[in-house]
Structure 1
């Protein structure tokens, strides 16, 4: 079944999926087609709903998380829908394919005082350290101030920053552009990086990249994850992990402060309001815990 190449072109050209998403989808398709072949399905038109269900069942028995299973089911539906459009199959076998329900887990969120401690430590390190310490402070301040994703942060160019209006021009998922505001602390940290830190590491090959690594290249997402992961671990009193915790925290603190849900949706770049609504659950959950800890008749 030689359909993966056409599906890849469809994902990249028509759906404008990121390289990471394309690789994940293609891996899922390879897994599906490999499983189908093991059941004697030699041609794509022979693919049936039962095969798809048994494939997901085998994935579940192997211990995959429900979120991964849900993604694989979504991949199967996208793949067969594309194959039907391309007339590679006569009917879509995944129309009745059900994904396992996702566990309703709330994202890890920092308390406001934990963020204050973290950025305070970063500020001290920036004063005493070199350009990378200045950069780290600016990156973390911006991640928390704007709620941008790591991929969006590392993709920023200098011209994407409007220091007068204190806004960022962000290119998000599906190449959708949005404008995101940031506050004074992030503006100060960013100004320090642009005036003091970046000039020390910039090279002829740096181009317009806003954040640079020690060798002058555009900073890598893994470097950002490493920096934030170390900071969260150093806090010692949080279950939050990785840069996405700053995005979760930004959204939750905005809603705790009275921000409109649709405004938060726009800031985060969510295509669906339902995705943003998880943060209302986070806020309610925190409110409930505070009530239970503080009220004498809770």
Structure 2
């Protein structure tokens, strides 16, 4: 089996059987295309002929390149190569997996950066007027406020939010979100998000829909086409700039803030896991960290000899 055919079949497997998102598939394709280009310079024509020394040589060459790749990039590249070879072994194209001795680089443990509740309020106001005060708001402001309210109310990934159809908003009270692996989850909407979405659906979306081809997507651009991930990212960046937020704000920042604020408010970690669509509760537990300031505050108010 040639490396090129193996890659083609592996990507089809990731698409059809594992249901990976286009974004994840693009990352796999990019990493493995680089790997195959390296193999081509070594005249490798059969995945069965590859050894652990070949894999080590490729990764070492990448790691020593200029500019030096980040540990996270190396870890992702290593994971992509390992996935391809494990697939080749399962399919019977190779008798051994040359990646079994790989040791993943240690990545620094970074806690998710969440905004404070006040910062979230400022960010949402930067997108557009609050629900109930939107009489003079523009169509774009109504849409942008609805998008950000939904992201913060549901903790949805930006790719999940822009993939929502109108029918996924059920009675304006819950949203049906399709996550990784095409798994569906149901997430309730708070009153602010319901009001912002209601204003967008009744006052803005019909006009946007008439400008383009018929689309079932919930969020549309100014020309009527479905809103892209890049456009949603720009909406958040513009809102953060107008709000005067110094902290780095991305679509994932709202997801982190959603989870952190729920847990700080007393929500059970298992419930937050379900709302976020995490396959493992271990992923959700990274949000259960307590800040040093909170520790000091609790200690000072609770310990009899703290003062």
Offset at 1:235? Answer: 3.5
Deviations 1:45-85 (A, max 9, x none): 22122222232233333322222221111111110011112
- Does structure 1 residue 219 correspond to structure 2 residue 222? no
Aligned counterpart for 1:36 among listed residues 30, 36, 39:
39
In 2: Cα distance, 1:4 partner to 1:186 partner: 43
Q: Is the 8 A contact 2:168 2:176 kept in 1?
A: yes
Q: Is the 8 A contact 2:32 2:81 kept in 1?
A: yes
Aligned counterpart for 2:86 among listed residues 81, 88, 104:
81
Which residue number corresponds to residue 92 of structure 1?
Answer: 97
Q: 1:159 to 1:189 in 2, by over 3 A?
A: same
In 1: Cα distance, 2:300 partner to 2:77 partner: 41
Moved more, 245-254 or 94-103: 94-103
Offset at 1:122? Answer: 3.4
Aligned counterpart for 1:277 among listed residues 275, 281, 285:
285
Aligned counterpart for 2:202 among listed residues 189, 195, 216:
195
Moved more, 210-219 or 29-38: 29-38
Q: Is the 8 A contact 1:110 1:240 kept in 2?
A: no
CA RMSD of aligned residues (A): 2.5
TM-score normalised by length of structure 1 = 0.90
**Pairs within 5 Å for 1:1-298:** 1-2=3-4, 3-39=6-42, 41-62=44-65, 63-124=68-129, 126-163=134-171, 166-203=173-210, 205-281=213-289, 283-284=290-291, 287-288=294-295
In 2: Cα distance, 1:39 partner to 1:287 partner: 56
Q: Is the 8 A contact 2:127 2:236 kept in 1?
A: no
In 2: Cα distance, 1:292 partner to 1:122 partner: 38
Q: SS of the residue aligned with 1:168? A: strand
Offset at 1:183? Answer: 0.5
Q: SS of the residue aligned with 2:129? A: helix
In 2: Cα distance, 1:264 partner to 1:243 partner: 18
Structure 2, unpaired ranges of 5+: none
In 2: Cα distance, 1:88 partner to 1:185 partner: 55
Q: Is the 8 A contact 1:206 1:212 kept in 2?
A: no
Structure 1, unpaired ranges of 5+: none
Offset at 1:237? Answer: 4.0
Q: 1:86 to 1:260 in 2, by over 3 A?
A: same
In 1: Cα distance, 2:224 partner to 2:249 partner: 27
